[in-house]
Amino acid sequence: MKRIFEILVVLLIFFPVLVYSQEKEAEVKKESEARLIAIASTGDSLNSSIDRTFGKAEKFIIYNLNVDTFTVIDNEYAHSSSSAGTQVAWEMVERKVEAVITQGCGQKSFDILSSSNIKVFRNVKGTVNDAVENYKNGKLKEAPEEIKEKVKEKEAEVKKESDARLIAIASTGDSLNSSIDPVFGRAEKFIIYNLNIDTFTVIDNEYAYSSSSAGTQVAWEMIERKVEAVIGQNFGQKSFSILRSANIKVFRNVKGTVKDAVENYKNGKLK
């Protein structure tokens, strides 16, 4: 009898612990499997309007689709001077939401969310409750064409950069009307001209006032920039040899303006 009593006491002590443990495990499992969506909101309730902006939204309603409950979080980046959208986007990634619903959403924020496989629904108006119901019923459209178009643009941009045909011209100034600098290594600036799209960038020659080896330093920089040709007036033998060993065309004793040099190069008139 005493033995039975002891067993009953043990059961009375440990059974609630066991039940609590199982309930806790179920709760943790439910949280890990939670399907969450985030809605940019102007207020604390489901009747609040969807905020016009994503990064500067005052609040976000995080809705749990499994149990039809929600929590409200204040947007700590709402009054940030910059990068609010990207900060909020990373927070949504950390919160493991499956979708974001908003009106406006900047491209950087959109890219961060999309790259993390978070669905983004833009240009959604009305109340938070409407958005939740429309999401549940599959009435919101993610605009996959917009995503595909962005991917295509990015791929084209990368390809354009890798295929760019660049030439470098030693220049005395910042424009195409500037004169070609008389010395390669000591040139004040270089104009890097993109033959594919007829645009150019200007770079300052950091070696212009170097005590020695200015030409060779500039030559190595042109190799790194992957130019196909260099145009100037006077080249030292070392810089000339470095450029030629990298299969970069070198045009010496070229006078006139940068624009003339570009046009003559295009027309095959430089020798």
Question: CB burial class (10 A; 0-12, 13-18, 19+) of residue 55?
Answer: buried
Angle between helices 84-94 and 107-115 (to 10 degrees): 20
* DSSP-derived secondary structure letter, 141: -
pTM, full prediction: 0.46
- Between β-strands 189-194 and 99-101, what pairing exists: parallel, antiparallel or unpaired? unpaired
Amino acid at 239: S
* DSSP-derived secondary structure letter, 179: B
Q: Do 143 and 122 contact (CB within 8 A), yes or no?
A: yes
55-79 pLDDT tens trace = 999 999 999 999 999 999 999 998 8
86-120 pLDDT tens trace = 899 999 999 999 999 999 888 888 888 988 889 99
Give the chain's domains with CATH numbers.
32-147 (3.30.420.130), 162-266 (3.30.420.130)
Judge whether residue 17 has pLDDT over 60.
no
What is the C-alpha separation between 124 and 37, in angstroms, rounded?
14
152-182 pLDDT tens trace = 666 666 566 667 899 999 999 999 999 999 9
Amino acid at 80: S
**3-state SS string for 12-70:** HHHHHHHHHHHHHHHHHHHHHCCCEEEEEECCCCCCCEECCCCCCCCEEEEEECCCCEE
